[in-house]
Structure 1
């Protein structure tokens, strides 16, 4: 956790999101009914204030990240837009599904070749599953639940 000093103007811009206490059922290939998006500043240019958002299909299973093996502590997202597009690699950014935080971006995985700055068809955004860390977070954040209901 990071503690920062903010002035009143900065504090007025803060928006809070709830963490999803239910999480996902393991081995679900497509999480139907979940509207998920990645949010962050990307790596396009230094000090660019433009916030980026990308709609994702999220999977939670051993083969969710294509050619990369995964486990219960990870979620994988794939862009819903087809074709080649600019890569969105933003470690530390939130994965938000149905208005609640479910993960934190930790790596861009590519099973095929990247074409310049564009991602290939088999590019996956890997996220740390927030549910896996509820016990630790609850030590530092008051009134944070100690566990997710679906994560056992």
Structure 2
């Protein structure tokens, strides 16, 4: 699925460690963001935020509540949790997201900090979050 999406031009792969695919200005912009947030975020969220800020990507995916709060208070980037993304897929009837409940359970099984509440409650909260962010059609 990802290979085909890449071939269809839905995303571009960049190597943020080596800087392959980035201009010098983009590398510098990402370095500034990394420096600014280095004590507030884990490496994964830090790299995602640096890419989002530099490329004008409005949303990133993270289930880290503290990171979400930090990112949203100190940048224009908004953070979606995996249930939010699943809700968007379900709402938009995407072909890749036919079995939302199974996908959700599979993700939860691999998480060290599972989300509390029933599947229906979590989807309700995601519906409100997605609506708040203006991502519902």
**Length-normalised TM-score, structure 2:** 0.26
Higher percent of residues as strand:
1
Tell which has more relative contact order, 1 or 2 (C-alpha 8 A, sep 6+). 1
Query: How high is the TM-score relative to the length of structure 1?
Result: 0.24
